[in-house]
Amino acid sequence: MLNPSYDLPSRKVISNNLIPQLYTSAVQEIKKQLEIPEAVTLTTDGWTSINNEGFLAITAHFIDENCLMKAFLLDCFIYSERHTAVNLASEIKRVLLEWNIQESRSYCNR
């Protein structure tokens, strides 16, 4: 049964407080999970929208201590640079640094 006297949070409270708190909490939990495995495999996926905007997604995959496969989307962004190996490697390194994943225990697949 719903409580009719309960005051719902405003749109501003939800967008300015609750969602950012939830996002921060989720990022911290994912970073904690990414510390555990010996190796993390990264996959990349690039595509172009109907409006001719390029996108790049980077996902981390690993097997946890219970032998369950885990996958987390680490970043998805508009990618307007040339699709050279140097530029792609630079973006991958940026994401590794952002998520505290050591290069020595990461592998990349495309």
Q: In this predicted model, what pLDDT tens digit does every residue of 6-61 receive, in sequence order?
A: 889 999 999 999 999 999 999 999 999 999 899 999 999 999 999 999 999 999 99
Distance CA(63)–CA(70), nearest Å, equals 6
pLDDT at 105 over 80: no
In sequence order, the 6+-apart residues with CB closer than 8 A to the CB of 58 are 42, 43, 44, 73, 74, 75, 76, 91, 92, 95
The model's pTM: 0.83
Tell me what the mean pLDDT of segment 95-107 comes to.
Answer: 87
Q: Which residue has the tokens 């609750």?
A: 18
Distance CA(37)–CA(97), nearest Å, equals 16
**What was the pLDDT predicted at 102?**
87
**What was the pLDDT predicted at 109?**
67
